[in-house]
């Protein structure tokens, strides 16, 4: 096996892991009516089970990142694959709200740790000029999972029952473990270690001893965290409310929604790849890291703002096209903002710092649901669409406030005095 092929083999398996990750979390949503009926659950009960997943997902996004920084990408991905796959398969044994909530909590804990580990792998295996491509591939996997889950789960449920659907999708993760371990056996033969990190840049003395607390005190990191969280909140709106909008406001029946709503998810996956490849191309042409990433980030945010005008569209198909544009722009934005987070954080803490931004995005998405529901009930969807567009405008301002995209490093005393002098001036 050629050494040049190994990074793309690693990212290919991580892509498949990301597809399975999304499928396993989405199964319950597809099977909600059947599960609620068989377990005699109310809507409130179902919401509690969903929240059990979200709470653990937020917590373990951070803890999983810490684990990945300690154990490395290879071992953390192996552990999380095993853990969440078994948690998904355990859904076959649920008998009521308590056991369902427990299984959802375990699933959230296992799934959350995968993404910080995968992003650490991208930072270790890919240099800056191709790193966004790897991140874009991970994010496009979410759209692939969204496209595959409904037909696969429906087919399994019709033939074998809903418990079999959890068993089958959970087993997919276990099937990825042997090729993942086999690949890293070959990596050891070539590099002498299963976790070589060939793309990691040498750390200067003022970067090596930069502590996690010191990074958490820096404005650049918090601006990037909040910019990501703002985009994530808009994404959760489209993810959870888009089907209802087209049925309730645009008067499309369920069959038509099922026939057409794959288009925005396809656009989202395409946006993840196009945005990643575009910024990588600019970087390879010598535009520089800061200008390359920001050029695509600002362009993507503009697409999201334009797409949010779907609520003002005269026809349903134009509204669908604008929503698709918004999701294309969001995933293009995500490919680059996620990559930027990897690029500004010290390698020793990259997974946990990425995990904190993911937890913040999930939290902001969950909190936004408490606002969206009452707004839709009282005034309709228009203010929410407008708000989604404004979130990307806010994210763009935060990107400017963050300053130049470059690694966060320790400020020397003379640098501090110089900065303080500028502030005073």
**CA 145 to CA 17: how far, in whole Å?**
10
Q: How large a percentage of the chain has pLDDT more than 70?
A: 92
Does the structure show a pLDDT above 70 at 415? no
What is the average pLDDT value for the chain, to the nearest integer?
Answer: 86
- Over residues 364-379, the mean pLDDT reads 84
Tell me what pLDDT residue 106 has: 96
**Residue 410 per-residue DSSP state:** P
Tell me what pLDDT residue 408 has: 86
Tell me what pLDDT residue 191 has: 81
Together in a domain, 171 and 293? no
| Residue 224, CA distances (Å) to 16, 34, 319 in order | 27, 41, 30
Q: At 43, phi and psi to the nearest 5?
A: -60, -35
Together in a domain, 187 and 231? no
* Torsional sign, CA 54, 55, 61, 67: negative
Of the candidates 66, 76, 56, which has an alpha carbon nearest to the alpha carbon of residue 14? Answer: 76
Q: Are 97 and 41 in contact (CB under 8 A)?
A: yes
User: Going by C-beta distance under 8 Å and a sequence separation of 6 or more, which residues neighbour residue 377?
Assistant: none
Together in a domain, 324 and 382? yes
What is the span of the domain harbouring residue 373? 210-408
> H helices within 126-218, ranges in order?
128-160, 162-191, 205-208, 212-216
Using pLDDT thresholds of 50, 70 and 90, give the confidence band for residue 152. confident
Together in a domain, 186 and 220? no
Together in a domain, 129 and 219? no
Using pLDDT thresholds of 50, 70 and 90, give the confidence band for residue 371. confident
Tell me what pLDDT residue 351 has: 86
Give residue-wise pLDDT tens across range 62-81.
898 889 888 888 999 999 99
Angular region, 286: left φ>0, alpha ψ -120 to 50, beta rest: left
Residue 416 lies in a domain: no
Together in a domain, 97 and 141? yes
Of the candidates 124, 120, 117, 122, which has an alpha carbon nearest to the alpha carbon of residue 191? Answer: 124
**CA 46 to CA 26: how far, in whole Å?**
14
User: Going by C-beta distance under 8 Å and a sequence separation of 6 or more, which residues neighbour residue 333?
Assistant: 231, 275, 297, 300, 301, 304, 392, 395
Q: Which two tokens stand for residue 103?
A: 């299984």
**CA 370 to CA 75: how far, in whole Å?**
37
Does the structure show a pLDDT above 50 at 423? no
* pTM given for the model: 0.80
Together in a domain, 257 and 314? yes
Give residue-wise pLDDT tens across range 252-294.
776 777 678 788 888 998 999 999 999 999 988 988 989 999 9
Tell me what pLDDT residue 157 has: 87
Name the domain count of the chain: 2
User: Going by C-beta distance under 8 Å and a sequence separation of 6 or more, which residues neighbour residue 160?
Assistant: none
Does the structure show a pLDDT above 70 at 153? yes
End-to-end CA distance of the chain: 59
Residue 203 lies in a domain: no
Of the two residues 51 and 40, the one the predictor is more confident about is: 40
């Amino acid at each position: 096996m050629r050494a040049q092929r190994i990074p793309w083999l690693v990212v290919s398996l991580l892509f498949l892991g990301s597809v399975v990750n999304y499928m396993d979390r989405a199964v319950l949503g597809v099977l909600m009516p059947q599960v609620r009926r068989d377990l005699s659950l109310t809507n409130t009960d179902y919401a509690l089970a969903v929240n059990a997943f979200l709470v653990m997902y937020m917590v373990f996004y951070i803890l999983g990142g810490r684990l990945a920084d300690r154990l490395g990408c290879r071992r953390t991905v192996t552990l999380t694959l095993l853990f969440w796959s078994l948690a998904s398969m355990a859904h076959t044994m649920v008998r009521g709200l308590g056991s369902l909530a427990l299984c959802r909590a375990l699933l959230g804990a296992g799934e959350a740790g995968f993404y910080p580990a995968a992003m650490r792998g991208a930072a270790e295996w890919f240099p800056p000029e191709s790193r966004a491509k790897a991140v874009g591939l991970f994010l496009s996997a979410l759209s692939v999972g969204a496209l595959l889950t409904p037909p696969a789960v429906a087919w399994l449920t019709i033939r074998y029952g809903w418990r079999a659907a959890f068993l089958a999708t959970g087993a997919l993760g276990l099937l990825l473990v042997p090729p993942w371990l086999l690949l890293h056996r070959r990596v050891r033969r070539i590099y002498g270690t299963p976790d070589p990190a060939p793309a990691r840049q040498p750390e200067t003395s003022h970067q090596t001893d930069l502590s996690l607390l010191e990074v958490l005190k820096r404005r650049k990191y918090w601006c990037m965290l909040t910019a990501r969280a703002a985009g994530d909140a808009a994404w959760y709106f489209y993810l959870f409310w888009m089907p209802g909008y087209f049925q309730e406001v645009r008067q499309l029946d369920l069959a038509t929604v099922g026939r057409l709503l794959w288009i925005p998810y396809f656009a989202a996956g395409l946006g993840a790849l196009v945005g990643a490849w575009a910024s990588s191309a600019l970087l390879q042409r010598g535009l520089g890291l800061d200008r390359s990433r920001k050029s695509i980030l600002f362009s993507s945010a503009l697409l999201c703002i334009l797409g949010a005008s779907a609520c003002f569209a005269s026809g349903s198909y134009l509204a669908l096209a604008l929503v698709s544009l918004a999701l294309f722009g969001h995933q293009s934005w995500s490919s680059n903002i996620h990559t930027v987070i990897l690029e500004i954080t010290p390698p020793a803490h990259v997974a946990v710092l990425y995990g904190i931004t993911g937890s913040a995005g999930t939290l902001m998405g969950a909190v936004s649901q408490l606002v969206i529901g009452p707004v839709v009930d009282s005034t309709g969807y228009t203010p929410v669409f407008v708000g989604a567009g404004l979130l990307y405008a806010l994210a763009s301002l935060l990107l400017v406030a963050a300053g130049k995209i470059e690694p966060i490093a320790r400020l020397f005393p003379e640098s501090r005095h110089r900065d303080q002098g500028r502030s005073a001036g």
